[in-house]
Amino acid sequence: MRARRSTLAAVAAGVLLLTSACGQAGSSGGSTSTSTSSAAALTTCAPVAGDKLVVLEDDKGLQTVDNIVPAINSKAIAGDSTIIPLLDAVSATLDTKTLIGLNKSVDVDRQTSTQVAKAFLAAKGLAAQDSVGNGKKIVVGAANFSESATLAAIYAGVLKSAGYDATTQTIGARDTYEPPLEQGKLTIVPEYAGTLTEFLNKKENGADAKPLASSDLDATMKELTTLGTKVGLSFGTPAAAQDVNSFAVTTAFADKYKVKTLSELATTCGGLVLGGPPECPDRPFCEPGLKKTYHLQITDFTSLDAGGPLTKTAIKEGKVALGLVFSSDAALAG
């Protein structure tokens, strides 16, 4: 999980999504599930330098879903039939490619989240047709990173268009903003389905609770809804957009070896060099998961960072073939 989002999940730091971060320097792929004979038959795919990155599809569902979803204080919307449909209309326009573009506008093009939100709402025609909010006060909370701030500004903007007195407030980490959301001091927060499920799971059922989030969005949302009911939270419809741990190569690498998915990579390439954060070889959703789920032949690991500039630079410079990134990272913009 990215550094900026790991602070959001302090309680869930050891849970599913955080465990998907990676690495320990000097690890090797000697204990893969691939047989020696089949591994030996694979071509050694050396890293290929390039300016652009592409995420390989996690076609076997190694990672837990983390779709964007509006989390709402239930009492604040009691008797209000407008707020959730407005937020759902936003969710319907958000896929991961769109989220990458929003992040690029802020993180690369240096626009403000407010500017980006205003342009997005106009471009998608999301302004409400009726002014029904009657000045009702809505506080949209945001975590302390740009993606969350932009999503909060979009939520607030669409609610303002319907006549609500909607403002945004940046709070910080999840363990800081989630209690005010339960208490109604915050009305809405843009959340991540899998991460919030595990946060509430640990909060309600203890640090050793069995994980409830999975690679199945419907099942994860069912668990999240049940947990939310216990603490007074409701949820809108999750967007297709995800901010989830992913594995990327350069587009030059993908083109050379003709791979689009992790399964294709596993059947095409051996001798892979993986890059990521230091805990990767010990985390089930990183190197061990790649080996167990996909039988990837990873022969070397380079300790870098969690989806940050070190990993992305190492991939682009051809120092590692495959690296852990985040699915909505601005660096993935076409």
Query: What pLDDT sits at residue 40?
Result: 55
Query: What pLDDT sits at residue 209?
Result: 97
Query: What pLDDT sits at residue 3?
Result: 37
Cβ atoms within 10 Å of 46's Cβ, excluding its own:
14
Query: Count of residues for the chain?
Result: 334
Calculate the alpha carbon distances from 329 to 31, 132, 183 in Å.
31, 36, 32
Query: What pLDDT sits at residue 110?
Result: 97
3-state secondary structure at position 330: helix
Write down the pTM of the prediction.
0.87
Rounded CA-CA distance 208/100 in Å is 34
CATH architecture of 3-63+244-332: 3-Layer(aba) Sandwich (3.40)
- Asked whether the beta carbons of 193 and 3 are under 8 A apart, the reply is no
In b/e form, how buried is each residue of 289-321, taking b as 16+ CB within 10 angstroms? bbbebbbbbbbebbbbbbbbebbbbbbbebbbb
**223: its two tokens:** 């668990």
**12: its two tokens:** 């869930």
Locate the domains of the chain by residue range.
Answer: 3-63+244-332, 68-235
Fold of 68-235: Dipeptide-binding Protein; domain 3 (3.10.105)
Query: What pLDDT sits at residue 267?
Result: 97
Pairing status of strand 298-303 against strand 272-276: parallel
- Residue with the two structure tokens 């870098």: 304
Query: What pLDDT sits at residue 222?
Result: 98
- Asked whether the beta carbons of 181 and 148 are under 8 A apart, the reply is no
C-alpha closest to that of 118 among 173, 160, 59, 76: 160
Please give the average pLDDT of every successive group of 10 residues along the chain, which has 334 residues.
38 37 38 41 94 98 97 96 97 98 97 98 95 96 97 98 97 95 98 98 96 97 98 98 97 98 98 97 95 97 96 98 97 90
Query: What pLDDT sits at residue 37?
Result: 39
H/E stretch holding 324: strand 322-326
Backbone dihedral angles phi then psi of residue 86, each to the nearest 5 degrees = -65, -45
Query: What pLDDT sits at residue 41?
Result: 76
Torsion 278-279-285-287 (CA) sign: positive
- The H-assigned helical ranges of the chain are 3-6, 36-41, 83-91, 96-107, 113-124, 146-160, 174-183, 193-205, 217-231, 251-257, 262-268, 287-294, 309-316
Beta bridge partners of 55: 248
